Structure 1
Amino acid sequence: MKFMKKEVLRQLTILAYSDFKGTACHDHWIPYYTFGDCSHSECNSHNLRNLKGINEDYNHEWAKNMSSLLIEIKQRVDTLRSEGRAEMDFNETAKYNAIYKDIISKGKLECPIPVAEKTGRPKKNAAHRLLARLQKYDVETLSFMYDFNIPFDNNLAERDIRMVKLRQKISGCFRGKEGPIVFCRIRSYISTCRKNGQKVMESLVKAIKGEPFIPQTL
């Protein structure tokens, strides 16, 4: 039986977060939130794409304003980091947080949830769902502002997982559980070596000899 994309992602998730204690930046795939030993951060590249779609499809001003706010905060964080700062002043984070909540409030007024005539149930569209998510996960969305060690998005992780998709499309799917586990471990090792400026082939040879590259931790 072939293992489809969800099984590969499930194996990746288990490998990545089973013992992880830091902050996981992801695209709001709900299974990620089942790992309670780590904190979570929302990927704002995904949020920006979704906000752009809402603005184009529904012409909602709140979506445009939220996009501008997230970009403004990111630019401010980048500036502070370049100046050697490790965090943003409390008054400044409070200001941005207040603007964020104000946009959410105005968004609710701009796109109230209609009720279906036949069932009497709320009829939520993509704009309503995104607005509710941004309100519920406000801390996770703005975590990069509170902690400069947390990235604005998970683009780096997206690049790392791209090889899994290529493996699925070009080389065929995995036939069992062992294959995805081995593949993910190898790709994880290669990615770690690259991020630490190591030559991949040399690092693979060392791993085969029983002398794998292990990055130093603080």
Structure 2
Amino acid sequence: MAEMPDATEDHLPASCTGCGSALGEGDSIGFERRQVRDIPLVTVTVTEHRAHRCRCACGTVTASAMPETVAGSPSSYGPNLRALAVYPLVFQHIPVERTARLIRDVTGAEVSTGWVASLLPEAAGLVEDSVDLIRALLVMGHILHADETTTRIASVRRWLHVARTDFLTLLHLAPRSRAGADAGGVLPGYRGVLVHDSLSLYAGYPRCGHQLCGAHLIRELTAIEEDFPDQKWHQQIRWALAGLNIQALRVRSGEITEITPEALLLHLDAFHQGITVGLSQHPRAEGRKQSTARNLLERLRDQAHAVLRFADDPRHVPFTNNCGERALRPVKTQLKISGCHQSEHGATAWLTVRSYLDSARKHGLSAFDAIHRAFTDNLWMPPIEQAA
């Protein structure tokens, strides 16, 4: 309950239940408290701006300029209403038509679907400076998560890339290629540890360290176990990876200061022995095309350092790329609720605003406050000291 309520209402008995005498506030000897939280009904208000022309005694007529926040048309909508329209459109995945109807029903403002749709590129332009700084700070981070997924624009399938840290998110459209990943402006200059799945395009960034997603590898090992239930090497490798992750989590929680040499040796021996046994049971076939099991085993062998980097630095390097995957889920939610974007321009604007909102929320700002600040010339900018 609030210590200082905004308003109070006192309810006094009309008369004594014993003798029938009238009772008033001065007779009170105590009270029971109940609090009700509610919001005022929202109604659009119209503010008329009048830019006067004044004639001086010398005969000169001087006209006042309209405030910069007032649009050039005779009638326009202000920043509060604009922010209210962009918030459900980008953060709550509500389609344009339903967003317009929501605003009409709640505020009484007779907005059109065209006006709502026009706010998306406007908002993207307003947050551009913040997103540019987000991009620069991601390049400077010590740990970076990268992932990709498919989306649709009209009837065409497109690829979506994400680069993110615990504090920042950047989404962009591009082909599923090295050039597409470069287009985000983060990976070409990145020199920290890049956490990702085993997609081959990430191998094209040799200047940064790599951590392959352990959750992906464990899923692949589990799938191979279903195909080869009589073999044991996949269980051994999975046990080693899961065991090292448990030790790494204990270090992160402060339970232990480091993974002990004994535990490290036990799990690493199991990991490498499992690979050796697996390779003997799945020899190379003639030609370039190999079995799924052989491909996985060779990847574990040839990229062992990228698989096990989290055990070298358990305090900082994560075992999985789950947070990278989570950053892509809003796009899938958008497709399910609102359908696909009809143009690349609109999709790019949506992703730009979403990158800004997700980054601001990681710093404790609500999504509505973040977009409202953009429309009121008070753009949120990520703090440089939290780049990592």
Q: State the TM bucket, normalised to the shorter chain.
A: 0.7 to 0.9
Q: Tell me the equivalent position of 2:360.
A: 193
Write the deviation string for residues 164-203 of structure 1: whole angstroms up to 9, x where unpaired: 3344564324633x55543333222222223333212112
One of 253, 276, 287 as aligned partner of 1:82: 253
Matched, 1:205 2:372: yes
Q: Are 1:49 and 2:216 counterparts? A: no
- How big is the shift at 1:139? 0.8
Secondary structure, aligned partner of 2:211: strand
Of 142, 146, 158, 1:5 maps to 158
- TM-score (normalised: structure 2): 0.48
2 CA distance for matches of 1:179 and 1:191?
A: 18
- The corresponding residue for 1:153 is 320
Higher helix share: 1
Query: Offset of 1:158 from its aligned partner?
Result: 0.4
SS at match of 1:25: strand
* Residue pair 1:167, 1:173 contacting (<8 A) in 2 also: no
- The alignment partner of 1:6 has SS state of strand
Of stretches 32-41 and 179-188 in structure 1, the one that deviates more from structure 2 is 179-188
Cα distance change of structure 1 residues 56 and 41 upon mapping to structure 2, 3 Å threshold: same
CA distance in 1, matches of 2:326, 2:374: 23
Q: Percent identity?
A: 23
2:332 is aligned, of 158, 162, 165, to 165
Secondary structure of 1:4's aligned partner: strand
Q: Which amino acid aligns with 2:183?
A: I
| C-alpha distance in 2 between matches for 1:87 and 1:190 | 36
The AA in structure 2 aligned to 1:4 is R
Aligned residue pairs total 212
- After TM superposition, the score normalised by the length of structure 1 is 0.81
8 Å Cα contact 2:193-2:209 kept in structure 1 = yes
Q: Taking structure 1 as reference, are residues 5 and 126 closer, same or farther at Cα in structure 2, changes over 3 Å only?
A: same
- Following superposition of structure 1 onto structure 2, how do residues 100-111 of structure 1 map, counting pairs within 5 Å? 100-111=271-282
Give the Cα separation in 2 of the matches to 1:165 and 1:13: 23
The amino acid of 1:106's aligned partner reads V
Distance in 2 of aligned mates of 1:161 and 1:12: 15
Give the drift of 1:66. 0.9
Give the C-alpha shift of residue 145 in structure 1: 0.8
Contact preservation (8 Å) 2:191, 2:209: yes
Are the counterparts in 1 of residues 240 and 268 from structure 2 also a CA contact under 8 Å?
Answer: no
Between 157-166 and 125-134, report the one with greater CA deviation.
157-166
Structure 1: where are the runs of 5+ without partners?
none
Q: Which protein has the bigger strand share?
A: 2
Taking the aligned partners of 1:87 and 1:191, their CA distance within structure 2 comes to 33
> Which has the greater radius of gyration?
2
Gaps of at least 5 residues in structure 2 are 1-152, 161-172
Q: Distance in 2 between matches of 1:58 and 1:68?
A: 17
Alignment CA distance shift 1:187-1:22 (3 Å) = farther
Structure 1 contact 207–213 (Cα < 8 Å) conserved: no
Higher RCO, 1 vs 2 (CA within 8 Å, ≥6 residues apart)? 1
